[in-house]
């Protein structure tokens, strides 16, 4: 049995706990959260215990899974690495580049297993597109357009609205697409970005980022937290031998629309893409198997840092209006 402990029991902590519950060789041995009442209800639901503090959780488990808000990743990741634990940490790796560097250094020093949870790499549609591009199916890729978003994310603490905690839409949301572009097409030479992040708007954020890659490909990434039309992603990859496109709003395997009784709220259409295993399961299963077999995970701690570096560059460009050249 692999013993896993989860820190941070919000939306992501729950997703991860659901995934571990399906693994017969994994035991969720402890959970930890700042909000004690939330932690207790969570522990009851997932048949585990609440660690009295993080130190105790570290003693109880082999894998530490960090699902806290971004600005608190480093404070849990660093002691976990130092304790020699295998660590899977939600994206973004950390809120600042300095924290990322500390984490990278700690992983190297203690030679531990570490994976930043860029779950997009485990979404089958994005994985397939990555594989087709890498196999040369589209020829030379000239342009990539990616879109992600919906309405502004709301949580009890509203930490997404606090730029110092979340890094806004660029760092929290489109880091997914930035990582995918880097994973699939290589390093970025320069980028230019616009964003509403610094326009002083309440619960509205939007960004348009244009990146030029070292291989000449142009990548355009759109992130929205101001679209009340529901969460949606799409991408389009144009090469000299063909084009791939995907739109989650158009390619829908199951559409549910319920008639709403008078006076009731709701009636929202929910498109679904059913699969035997969801991407969070695939991602965490990969990490558990890496732990069991002593293999390095396919997403490195350096990948996590480079993704953060690119989001910080885009934030700088949006803030200053200047082109940012990556070294």
Partner 1 sequence: MKVKVGIMSFAHLHADSYAHCLLTNPRAEFVGIADHDPQRAKEKAQRYGVQVFDSYESLLASDVQAVIICSENVRHAPLAQMAAAAGKHILCEKPLMTRLEDGQAMLAAARGAGVQLFTAFPCRFSPAFRQLCARVQAGEIGDLLAMRGTNRGVNPGGWFNDPELAGGGAMMDHTVHVADLMRLLTGQEIVEVYAETNNLMYHGNFDDTAMLTLTFEKGIFATLDSSWSRPRTFPTWGDVTLAVYGTRGVIEMDMFAQYLRHYDDRAGRIRQVFWGDNIDALMIDEFLRAVSGEPAPTLATGEDGYKAAAVAIAGYESVQRSEPVRV
Give me the residues that bind partner 1 (CB under 8 A), please. 140-143, 145, 190, 192, 194, 196, 199, 201, 204, 206, 208, 210, 212, 216-218, 220, 222, 224, 226-229, 238-240, 242-243, 321-323
Please, what is the minimum distance in Å from the beta carbon of residue 325 to partner 1? 9
Pairing mode of beta strands 26-32, 2-7: parallel
SS3 33: coil
Task: Give which of 124, 76, 98, 88 is closest to 12, Cα–Cα.
Answer: 88
Q: Specify the residue, 60 or 210, whose C-beta has the smaller distance to partner 1.
A: 210
- Which of 11, 215 has the CB closer to partner 1? 215
**Shortest distance, position 197 Cβ to partner 1, whole Å:** 12
- 3-class DSSP assignment, residue 96: coil
Compare residues 164 and 240 and give the one whose CB is closer to partner 1: 240
- The total number of residues written for the chain in this structure: 327
H or E element at residue 279: helix 279-293
Handedness of CA 218, 211, 104, 57 (dihedral sign): negative
Specify the residue for token string 């939306």.
Answer: 11
CB of 218 to partner 1, least distance (A): 5
Tokens of 270: 């929910």
Residue (9 or 185) nearer to partner 1, CB: 185
Q: Minimum Å distance from CB 158 to partner 1? A: 19
The residues, ordered by sequence, that sit 6+ positions from 265 with a Cβ below 8 Å of its Cβ are: none
Q: Which is nearer to partner 1, 74 or 233 (CB)?
A: 233
Q: Shortest approach of partner 1 to residue 134 CB, angstroms?
A: 16
Angstrom distance (rounded) from CA 7 to CA 75: 11
């Amino acid at each position: 049995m692999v013993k896993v402990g989860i820190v941070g029991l919000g939306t992501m902590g729950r997703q991860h706990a659901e995934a571990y519950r399906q693994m017969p060789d994994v035991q969720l041995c402890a959970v930890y959260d700042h909000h004690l009442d939330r932690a207790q209800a969570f522990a009851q639901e997932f048949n585990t215990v609440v660690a009295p503090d993080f130190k105790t959780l570290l003693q109880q488990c082999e894998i530490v899974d960090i699902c806290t808000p971004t600005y608190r990743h480093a404070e849990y990741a660093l002691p976990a690495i130092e304790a020699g634990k295998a660590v899977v940490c939600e994206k973004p790796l950390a809120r600042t580049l300095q924290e990322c560097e500390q984490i990278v250094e700690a992983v190297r020093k203690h030679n531990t297993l570490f994976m930043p949870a860029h779950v997009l790499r485990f979404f089958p549609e994005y994985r397939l597109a990555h594989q087709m591009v890498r196999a040369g199916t589209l020829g030379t890729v000239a342009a990539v357009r990616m879109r992600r978003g919906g309405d502004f994310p709301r949580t009890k603490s509203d930490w997404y609205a606090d730029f110092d905690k979340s890094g806004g839409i660029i760092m929290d949301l489109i880091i997914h697409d930035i990582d995918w572009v880097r994973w699939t097409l290589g390093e970025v030479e320069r980028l230019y970005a616009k964003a509403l992040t610094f326009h002083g708007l309440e619960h509205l954020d939007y960004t348009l980022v244009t990146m030029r890659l070292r291989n000449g490909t142009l990548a355009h990434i759109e992130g929205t937290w101001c679209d009340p039309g529901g969460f949606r992603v799409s991408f389009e990859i144009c090469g000299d031998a063909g084009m791939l496109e995907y739109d989650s709003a158009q390619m829908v395997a199951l559409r549910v629309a319920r008639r709403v009784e008078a006076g009731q709220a709701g009636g929202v259409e929910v498109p679904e893409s059913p699969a035997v295993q969801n991407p969070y399961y695939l991602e965490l299963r990969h990490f558990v198997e890496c732990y069991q077999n002593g293999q390095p995970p396919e997403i490195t701690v350096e990948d996590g840092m480079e993704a953060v570096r690119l989001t910080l560059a885009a934030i700088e460009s949006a803030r200053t209006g200047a082109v940012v050249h990556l070294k």
